[in-house]
Amino acid sequence: GRKGGLENKIQRDKIDYKRLEQEGYCTITDKESGIINLQQVIDYMVDHITKYDLQVKGIFYDPYNISLFLNEIEQYGYPAIEVSQGVRTLSEPTKNFRLNVMDQRIQHTSNPLLNLAINNAILKKVNDTVQIDKDLNREKIDPIAALMNAYTEAMYHYEQNETDWDAYYQSEDFGI
């Protein structure tokens, strides 16, 4: 059942998902099987977009196992943009993101799941390219991987925007 599955996942991942959910950093699936409920994900995303009146430039996604999600998200009319998962696509955004973090032009509010992902991620270098990866299969890097997918396009836009993104990112309302 779900409960045993969640307890096993907490032990395996060494992440207290129950506490993180109570603190508002994640949502635990409502499916008895423990499988991700795509509708919960979509509802969260649409509610967040609506609440902050965001002008969506695109929903950027990893093409692996995405067909059900794409099918559901199509009804909302957001542009769905595939992000190839190779170094040709992700190397420059990863380098750019890293430099901006080092220059303190990009900061986050110590979201514990993003912190874990950043700490689990390693930078795999091949010739002049870089890509994030992980050492162990149980290590979670999904939040930073998703951030890199979005950043492939965002890096071209954030400097031209008048929005006070610093205030938004540092607010209680921001989450990844």
Beta carbons of 88 and 131 less than 8 angstroms apart:
no
How far is Cα 114 from Cα 140, in angstroms, rounded to an integer?
A: 9
Q: Determine the Cα–Cα distance for residues 98 and 150; give it in Å rounded to an integer.
A: 14
Amino acid at 142: D
What is the distance between the alpha carbons of residues 61 and 82, in angstroms, rounded to a whole number? 5
pLDDT band at 167 (very low <50, low <70, confident <90, very high): low
Contacts of 160 (CB under 8 A, 6+ apart): none
56-111 pLDDT per residue, tens: 989 999 999 888 889 888 889 999 999 999 999 999 999 999 999 999 988 888 89
Report the chain's mean pLDDT, rounded to a whole number.
Answer: 87
Residue given tokens 């696509």 in the structure block:
89
Q: What angle do CA 64, 91, 67 make, to 5 degrees?
A: 15
